[in-house]
């Protein structure tokens, strides 16, 4: 594809015209800069607001005003079963059976609830393998779980470092570490897409390797959900959790979600923390003395659903259902390839090929929309300059090893970003360097 790319507005416009998803941009509010659309490349941090969000949220506000408590059992969108309205669409986004997903709580909370079930260490089998430099919240969750079970996190947690001279963890290092740990290994937990480097992991291979030694495999999908085509069920993943405010456009801090593999979800003996919303809905309101878990991921639910957050998420998931992950990932590949082409073209034109190195192994993996651009010098000045010109992206200070002058993460999102955005980014980068 990239051999036929051109760094021109004519070419970018042509790509936008041919894009079968081009009508979706208009279904979002795009932040403005001096009377023009911003180049919003920050969907990896906070997705944009669908225009339908307010409609869906207002509907529930009005029903609450109109009906009060009766809203729980109004037709179609009754709050008692509101989570059913998002079940199928989120199951499609993550490649799960409907019974394997539940929309509930928030990411770190959900990780803890899942670790209750999937990290039950014994004296002999208590180790966790995860990535070094994981998102702090995930690291705190794992450390506190190890401590909670009476283990020193330094003994229990094996943090895999990137290979020497690289920012990336070599896939074979993960598989070897799992094999080496063998029957001491209780759990493998990784980010499906690394939040900083954008590296996508082979979740199926990791899951297979974990199962081979009798461990569970779970994934934090914060940067994967809505970004990659996931097949959690087919990959036989044990559990996963995600937030819905990044690529899923559910709104700041909105309700997250979980995946629990069918074989665990249907096992009533797997220990889990219980609350009334995880009880079989047939008997939930009879307030039985004894907890009877509904035999699905829903049994990890504790509390009744946050309806306003769910309504916001529903608006966005409807767009995912219309667009389909297949079409989104196909466009994503073209769009990110084009952005990469434009950036390289600008650097070549400036004779500054060494100014930016692309940390993300994008060409090797050809999936996920994020590119992490590491600057040899002047990273912060260039970031400030493009920001002033209307680019919204994300700045990370130089890493702990002090390499480079920091990283700009850019995520062209196939639902609402255009090829013209990628072209204009190149123009502004050109001016900034």
Site of interaction with ligand PLP (CB under 6 A):
106-108, 135, 137-138, 191, 195, 220, 222-223, 243
CB of residue 222 to ligand PLP, shortest distance in Å: 3
d(CA 433, CA 426): 11
Of 108 and 261, which CB lies nearer to ligand PLP in the complex structure? 108
Of 241 and 373, which CB lies nearer to ligand PLP in the complex structure? 241
CB of residue 259 to ligand PLP, shortest distance in Å: 15
d(CA 281, CA 79): 13
Of 196 and 419, which CB lies nearer to ligand PLP in the complex structure? 196
CB of residue 111 to ligand PLP, shortest distance in Å: 8
Instruction: Give long-range contacts, CB 8 A cutoff, 24+ apart: 291-298.
Output: 292/268, 293/268, 295/99, 295/265, 295/266, 295/268, 296/99, 296/100, 296/102, 296/265, 296/266, 297/99, 297/100, 297/101, 297/102, 297/258, 297/259, 297/260, 297/265, 298/83, 298/99, 298/102
CB of residue 292 to ligand PLP, shortest distance in Å: 29
Say if residue 193 is exposed, middle or buried (CB neighbours under 10 Å; 0-12, 13-18, 19+).
Answer: buried
Tell how strand 157-160 and strand 127-131 pair up.
parallel
d(CA 280, CA 268): 11
Of 182 and 253, which CB lies nearer to ligand PLP in the complex structure? 253
CB of residue 246 to ligand PLP, shortest distance in Å: 6
CB of residue 194 to ligand PLP, shortest distance in Å: 8
CB of residue 90 to ligand PLP, shortest distance in Å: 16
CB–CB of 183/124 below 8 Å? yes
Of 28 and 195, which CB lies nearer to ligand PLP in the complex structure? 195
Of 226 and 426, which CB lies nearer to ligand PLP in the complex structure? 226
CB of residue 394 to ligand PLP, shortest distance in Å: 12
Of 135 and 341, which CB lies nearer to ligand PLP in the complex structure? 135
CB of residue 360 to ligand PLP, shortest distance in Å: 15
CB–CB of 27/51 below 8 Å? yes
Of 37 and 399, which CB lies nearer to ligand PLP in the complex structure? 399
Of 370 and 405, which CB lies nearer to ligand PLP in the complex structure? 370
**Count of alpha carbons within 13 Å of 297, Cβ hemisphere only?**
27
CB of residue 18 to ligand PLP, shortest distance in Å: 33
CB of residue 34 to ligand PLP, shortest distance in Å: 30
Of 87 and 112, which CB lies nearer to ligand PLP in the complex structure? 112
Of 44 and 77, which CB lies nearer to ligand PLP in the complex structure? 44
């Amino acid at each position: 594809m990239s051999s036929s790319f051109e760094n021109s507005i004519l070419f970018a416009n042509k790509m936008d015209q041919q894009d079968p998803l081009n009508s979706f941009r208009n279904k979002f509010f795009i932040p403005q800069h001096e009377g023009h659309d911003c180049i919003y490349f920050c969907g990896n941090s906070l997705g944009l607001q669908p225009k339908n969000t307010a409609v869906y949220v207002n509907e529930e506000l009005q029903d609450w005003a109109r009906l009060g408590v009766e809203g729980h059992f109004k037709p179609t969108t009754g709050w008692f079963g509101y989570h059913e309205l998002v079940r199928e669409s989120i199951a499609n986004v993550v490649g799960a059976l409907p019974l394997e997903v539940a929309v509930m709580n928030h990411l770190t909370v959900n990780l803890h609830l899942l670790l209750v079930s999937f990290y039950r260490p014994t004296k002999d089998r208590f180790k966790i393998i995860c990535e070094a430099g994981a998102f702090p919240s995930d690291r705190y969750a794992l450390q506190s779980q190890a401590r909670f079970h009476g283990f020193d996190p330094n003994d229990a947690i094996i943090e895999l470092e990137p290979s020497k001279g690289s920012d990336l963890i070599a896939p074979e290092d993960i598989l070897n570490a799992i094999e080496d740990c063998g029957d001491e290994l209780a759990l493998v937990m990784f980010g499906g897409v690394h939040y900083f480097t954008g590296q996508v992991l082979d979740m199926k291979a990791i899951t297979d390797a974990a199962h081979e030694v009798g461990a569970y495999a779970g994934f934090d999908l914060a940067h994967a959900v809505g970004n990659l085509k996931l097949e959690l069920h087919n990959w036989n993943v044990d559990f996963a959790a995600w937030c819905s405010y990044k690529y899923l456009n559910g709104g700041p801090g909105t309700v997250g979600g979980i995946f629990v593999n069918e074989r665990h979800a249907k096992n009533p003996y797997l220990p889990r923390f219980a609350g009334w919303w995880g009880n079989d809905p047939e008997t939930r309101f009879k307030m039985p003395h004894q907890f009877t878990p509904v035999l699905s991921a829903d049994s990890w639910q504790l509390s009744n659903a946050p309806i306003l957050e769910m309504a916001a998420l529903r608006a966005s998931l409807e767009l995912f259902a219309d667009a389909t992950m297949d079409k989104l990932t196909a466009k994503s590949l073209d769009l990110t390839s084009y952005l990469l082409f434009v950036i390289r073209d600008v650097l070549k034109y400036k004779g500054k090929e060494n100014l930016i190195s692309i940390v993300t192994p994008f060409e090797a993996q050809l999936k996920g929309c994020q590119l992490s651009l590491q600057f040899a010098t002047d990273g912060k000045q260039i970031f400030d300059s493009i920001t002033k010109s209307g680019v919204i992206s994300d700045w990370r200070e130089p890493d702990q090893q002090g390499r480079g002058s920091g990283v700009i993460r850019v995520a062209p999102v196939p639902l609402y970003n255009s090829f013209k955005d990628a072209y204009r980014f190149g123009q502004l980068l050109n001016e900034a360097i």
